[in-house]
A and B are shown apart, each in its own frame.
Chain A
């Protein structure tokens, strides 16, 4: 960062030297070693590939990705898109990828919120709050995640059966079949309202930016929140009203063995989510704590001396500096959470690993199956990494 605005003399290019075909030229030596290494790696990869292909052929094991278009015939309990056992393996695997993404995305958001809260709580001047947060972190991060998942799943299983379901609030049922909550019957008006909500957020952001720009000119602070409320809440409600205000609720009801209607949070998903979130939150809490502690006390004192309130000190002075320390390890925690979601197999949540495992078992094409799992995780992880690196570069303070 610092060299960008540094001494202009360093920006001059070094003088060009002609390439000499000699061992004494370090560029020639470099090229030589590169060729050797690439050659070795290439040979090993080729050998592995041909060896595998040969053995598969000798053992008459089918190869290729043709199986993706065959009928899967495997049952999947929860899916974000419509799925029938008559659909293809490709669709079954897509369902698996979406299930992985579902738990990863919700998990990352919740783990960040809870982890940040606990990290800040551990620095609290309140003795009890600080000790409880410290105890949480020390206990949770010392227990293996698989054990925690099985613990949560056992707890979910020990809830009463559907016929004796607990009903804390009317229409909400807790049983060993999961959580049942009333669901809104979704119509176009709701989609429109959701879009209006997104539009409201974008408009609020634009408004806040304009307000800040004006403040830079005349120094007058402008209240953003009245406009924010109007845009984020008012706009969707207005849209929904204009489109006829449909409001029909699908209540869950016990029929036969199980509840019908309403929305279900399955025990498998819930146990996995709670396990991943509590576990990762403990690590995130430590990252946040380290980040805040990395900002020197002088910064706090200087900010207070300027007359800022303690909330503003944290938001305007400390957090921007702490984030530089927080973001890189946070990326690792996000990646860990995503990869740890593959432990879902143990508690029967059908993520990509579970479905790909079943697929490779039924088709017998283990190499293709594992390749698909690797490709999926690589894609997800690289996407998270790229996004976080971009964000890291954005929030990095430009030192002058």
Chain B
């Protein structure tokens, strides 16, 4: 009872220290995003592009046996790094779960999110993002075991369905069930792998996600023919890379890297012939795209040889698709060039 001030003071000091401990990481997080329009400068200063990707989805983003990330989304990260830094290998990959991905981008932990993410109005507006382009037109479907004897989605009434939480998939599923008066029991497990394992173990009758994801999962099973992807596609899932809202320059760059890949396919520019075409092709659009003529690269804030670097590293859109998605059984379908019937991939003019 001698010194009442001492313990209260210590307690106060403790509270102050605690508050500082909470404040510090928050302050550190706020740092990279503070200059709102200079993602490009930050990437240049750092020397690497930080790219948020899937935690592991065959065909889209998955480390191979040497630990090198490979996949469709990964190639978009590589393409942006090639355009911006001249080297497709200057990328640091940050695997993000479906639930953690948006916070990772909002907080500035990653520069760009190339993680099979669906473009929706609310994500574009209230989440504070900009979707750069639609790199893959997808739709949601169902996969069931062949032994179940189900051949269309209407037969799924009463089924237990595995679905990943925090995705548009979850909401599409309830919308579809409501519209078709189908009752189902959801099983929602956060990690993709655990979710798929639950389906494989028989915890669920069906597994639902984007058709591309289903094909990717089916392809890596010991016996892919034991699983059937049902014909119904219950939603539109335009997938593409996204960046933080408010940095138009960076969004433009990512958008035009995608258009460049599509345009290169249109013009027949490939990994094999890009150097030769850059040097000698007579078509004006090829000359503009590959930087021999005009100043298109500089208008985007990068080197004029940006598309040469991109195509040298990853190839054109068709090559990216053929390398990553064709092996797991995904057809071009709506992702064919607009010049093919049913194709939707289209690039505005390079001029």
Contacts and interface: CB of A to CB of B under 8 A. Distances in A.
Given A26-B5, A41-B15, A75-B163, A85 B178 contact: yes
A22 to B, nearest CB: 14
Interface in A1-39: 26-27, 29-30, 33-34, 37-38
Contacts of B167: 361
A364 interface: yes
16 contacts: A34-B12, A38-B12, A40-B19, A44-B20, A51-B26, A59-B244, A61-B126, A73-B171, A74-B171, A75-B186, A77-B188, A258-B205, A346-B191, A348-B187, A348-B188, A362-B122
A157 B201 contact: yes
Contacts of A51: 26-27, 30
Contacts of B174: 73-75, 85
A107 to B, nearest CB: 20
Contacts of B48: none
Given A348-B189, A364-B102, A58 B126 contact: no
A74 B160 CA distance: 15
Q: Considering residues A38, A267, A361, which has the most beta carbons from chain B within 10 angstroms of its beta carbon?
A: A361
B166 to A, nearest CB: 3
Contacts of A61: 106, 126-128
Given A29-B5, A44-B19, A59-B33, A361 B178 contact: no
Interface stretch (A287-295, A325-333, A350-358): A350-358
A8 B175 CA distance: 75
B146 interface: no
B102 A37 contact: no
A260 interface: yes
B157 interface: yes
A158 B3 contact: no
B246 A361 contact: no
B348 interface: no
B123 interface: yes
B245 interface: yes
A257 B182 CA distance: 13
B188 A362 contact: no
B19 A363 contact: no
B16 A41 contact: yes
Interface in A61-84: 61-62, 73-77
A43 to B, nearest CB: 9
B285 interface: no
B13 interface: yes
Given A41-B15, A357-B99, A363 B5 contact: no
Contacts of A348: 187-190, 194-195, 198
A357 to B, nearest CB: 5
A59 B245 contact: yes
A176 B198 CA distance: 10
B242 interface: no
A85 B174 CA distance: 7
Given A73-B174, A256-B157, A361 B102 contact: yes
A350 B106 CA distance: 26
B188 A33 contact: no
Given A48-B26, A364-B106, 8 more contacts: A41-B16, A44-B23, A47-B23, A61-B126, A74-B165, A77-B188, A361-B98, A364-B102
A227 interface: no
Interface residues of B, number: 65
A260 B16 CA distance: 57
Interface in B1-40: 3-5, 8-9, 12-13, 15-16, 19-20, 22-23, 26-27, 30, 33, 36
B189 A347 contact: yes
B298 interface: no
Given A74-B174, A348-B198, A59 B9 contact: no
B49 to A, nearest CB: 20
A interface majority secondary structure: helix
Contacts of A267: 203
Contacts of B202: 157, 161, 176
B303 interface: no
B319 interface: no
The bracket for how many chain A residues form the interface is 35 or more
A316 to B, nearest CB: 39
- By Cβ-Cβ distance, the 10 closest A-B pairs, closest first, are A30-B5, A37-B12, A361-B166, A364-B127, A348-B189, A157-B201, A75-B186, A85-B174, A62-B126, A59-B128
Contacts of B177: 75, 85
B103 interface: yes
B175 A346 contact: no
A358 to B, nearest CB: 5
A77 B187 contact: yes
Contacts of A255: 158
A55 interface: yes
Contacts of A347: 189, 194
A33 B16 contact: no
A372 to B, nearest CB: 15
Q: Considering residues B36, B163, B203, B205, which has the most beta carbons from chain A within 10 angstroms of its beta carbon?
A: B203
B8 A30 contact: yes
A32 B30 CA distance: 33
Contacts of B198: 157, 348
A354 B165 contact: yes
Interface in B94-133: 98-99, 102-103, 106, 122-123, 125-128
A366 B171 contact: no
A177 B198 CA distance: 11
B245 A37 contact: no
Nearest to A31: B5
Given A60-B128, A75-B186, A45 B9 contact: no
Contacts of A52: 26
Contacts of A345: 190
A176 B203 contact: yes
Nearest to B1: A14
Nearest to A45: B19
Nearest to A60: B128
A364 B158 CA distance: 31
Nearest to B200: A157
Contacts of B173: 75
A268 interface: yes
B126 A37 contact: no
A178 to B, nearest CB: 9
Interface in A200-245: none
A30 B36 contact: no
Contacts of A34: 8-9, 12
B87 interface: no
